[in-house]
Amino acid sequence: MNCSERTTTYGRKIIKGTQKNKSEYCKILYFSWMVCFVVGMLAGLILSVIISAMRSELVESTELIESNTTETSEPITETVSEVMVEPTVQSNFEPIIEPIVEPTPTPELKVISLGEYKLTAYCSCEKCCGKYALNRPIDENGKPIVYTANMSVAEQGVTVAADTDILPFGTVLLIDGNEYIVQDRGGAIKGNRIDVYFESHEDALQFGVQHKEIFLKEEGGVINE
Ligand SMILES: [Zn+2]
């Protein structure tokens, strides 16, 4: 009995011992699991914090790169704007160039060679104009006003006399590249003859008689041949 009791008590003790050991083991397991869980959670938190920090740094760095690129791109836009300004300056020049290029219309005006003409010179004196030199109207300064045959005021460098049957009044002629206008005529000025007006008789004499190729600017008149 005693043995059995002892055994039973011993057995119970063993059972109790084993139960105690089990419960302690479970406690240890549970504690260790909790520790692992907590450590894992903490590690996870730390990792997440680190990752978020890394991401923010990356974003900042990318923003910096973007800002750097925008800063670097700004000078390019400035250079582009400078380049864009230059064409505007050039465009200011272009209208100036265009009128120079407009000589393309000048072919429309047509400079026609009239061949060689005999050029003489005259002034408003009686030797040159005879009776027409008399009774000229006088201007404010007391100087006689020299009217041409088409009632223009004679002007040196502009007025020429021509055969108005060939070159009517208003015809623009090119003599040595200078423009003259047919504003006068004379009894001796027929055919291929031009009389060039000078203000002084001396200058007219100095001009003498010349033979030159004359050109017609078509806008001034039409040849009536
Ligand atoms: Zn004269």
pLDDT tens sequence across 86-100: 555 555 566 666 666
- Of 169, 150, 186, give the one whose Cα is nearest residue 221: 169
Q: How far apart are CA 60 and CA 70, in angstroms?
A: 15
Other CB atoms within a 10 A radius of the CB of residue 198 amount to 20
Q: What is the pTM of this model?
A: 0.51
> What's the confidence (pLDDT) of residue 128?
93
CA distances from 143 to 34, 137, 138, 146, 196 (A): 130, 8, 5, 9, 21
In this prediction, residues 15-32 reach a mean pLDDT of 66
- What CATH number matches the domain at 111-217, 3.30.450.370, 2.40.40.10, 3.50.50.60, 1.10.1240.10? 2.40.40.10
Instruction: Choose between 91 and 116: higher pLDDT.
Output: 116
> What's the confidence (pLDDT) of residue 79?
47
Report the separation in Å between the CA atom of 199 and the middle of ligand 1, taken as the mean of its atom positions.
8
If residue 39 lies in a helix (H) or strand (E), which one and from where to where?
Answer: helix 2-101
In this prediction, residues 109-123 reach a mean pLDDT of 92
Give me the phi and psi of 195, to 5 degrees please.
Answer: -110, 120
Which two three-digit tokens encode residue 97?
Answer: 């160039």
Instruction: Choose between 194 and 20: higher pLDDT.
Output: 194
Residue 221 clears pLDDT 70, i.e. is over it: no
Residue-range domain boundaries for the chain: 3-87, 111-217
Report the separation in Å between the CA atom of 222 and the middle of ligand 1, taken as the mean of its atom positions.
30
Report the separation in Å between the CA atom of 217 and the middle of ligand 1, taken as the mean of its atom positions.
28
Residue 167 clears pLDDT 90, i.e. is over it: yes
Q: In this prediction, what percent of the chain has a pLDDT beyond 70?
A: 60
Report the separation in Å between the CA atom of 177 and the middle of ligand 1, taken as the mean of its atom positions.
25
In this prediction, residues 198-224 reach a mean pLDDT of 84
Instruction: Choose between 219 and 58: higher pLDDT.
Output: 58
In this prediction, residues 216-222 reach a mean pLDDT of 63
- Of 160, 159, 87, 169, give the one whose Cα is nearest residue 117: 160
Report the separation in Å between the CA atom of 131 and the middle of ligand 1, taken as the mean of its atom positions.
12
Give me the phi and psi of 164, to 5 degrees please.
Answer: -70, -10
In this prediction, residues 175-199 reach a mean pLDDT of 95
Q: pLDDT band at 201, cuts 50/70/90? A: very high
> What's the confidence (pLDDT) of residue 186?
92
Residue 25 clears pLDDT 90, i.e. is over it: no
